[in-house]
Structure 1
Amino acid sequence: MDDISVEDLKERLDKNEKFVFIDVREEWEYEDDNLGAKNIPLGDLPNRLDEIEQFKNQEIVVHCRSGARSGNAKKFLESKGFSKVRNVPGGIMAFRNL
């Protein structure tokens, strides 16, 4: 599935749209600055798939600091059968620069 721009993400968050939103940064990064996403650090993702298994066929938006880790998370989730995963290129850094 196509990635989602920070502009589109902001618009959807501003409208309080409901979607599965995962932050794959480390806990300390998440505590410093978060957008309200569920925090599952990239390294923990393989062991925490059961937490998101029910969303396998729903849109899932993953983000991190710059888009690199979330890009890896997207590839990993797709390899596990998640069909509608979208990365946020630029991550929270780009989001904060809007």
Structure 2
Amino acid sequence: MCSINASELYQRLQRDERLDILDVREAIEYHTYNIGGLNIPVNRLQQNIDDIAYNKTDEIIVICSAGIRSKTAQAILLENGFKNVLNLKGGLIALQKQGLI
């Protein structure tokens, strides 16, 4: 499965690229801190797959706190026909550890 690391994501955010981000943390985590994107918790992703407003061929970057839930979400998306799904390795914690956010 494909992934993106924290510094690559940070650089793309700094360039103001239009990114399709899917944050699969729980709503309370998302509302406490987020970098934008659509929030659908991983445990509700399968039943809400039709709520994803991103095209199945577009690149989607899936994020969570540590990269574990997003890896699960990446697999769910791929199983449902999404073609270009990247998992943020190390999650938002990796961005924080590098002092990027």
Amino acid in the other structure paired with 1:12: R
Runs of 4+ in 1 over 4 A off after TM superposition: none
- TM-score (normalised: structure 1): 0.93
1:47 partner SS: coil
Q: Do the aligned partners of 1:20 and 1:55 also contact (CA within 8 Å) in 2?
A: no
Query: What stretches of structure 2 of length at least 5 have no aligned partner?
Result: none
1:56 partner SS: coil
- TM-score (normalised: structure 2): 0.90
Structure 2 counterpart of 1:82: 82
Q: Larger % of strand: which?
A: 2
Structure 2 counterpart of 1:10: 10
Alpha-carbon distance, 1:53 to partner: 5.7
CA distance in 1 between partners of 2:6 and 2:54 (Å) = 26
Cα RMSD between the aligned structures?
1.3
Query: What stretches of structure 1 of length at least 5 have no aligned partner?
Result: none
- The CA deviation string for residues 4-61 of structure 1, in whole angstroms up to 9 with x for no partner, is 0110101111111012101000001111111112111101111221222651011000
2:61 partner SS: strand
1:28 matches 2:28 = yes
Structure 1 counterpart of 2:40: 40
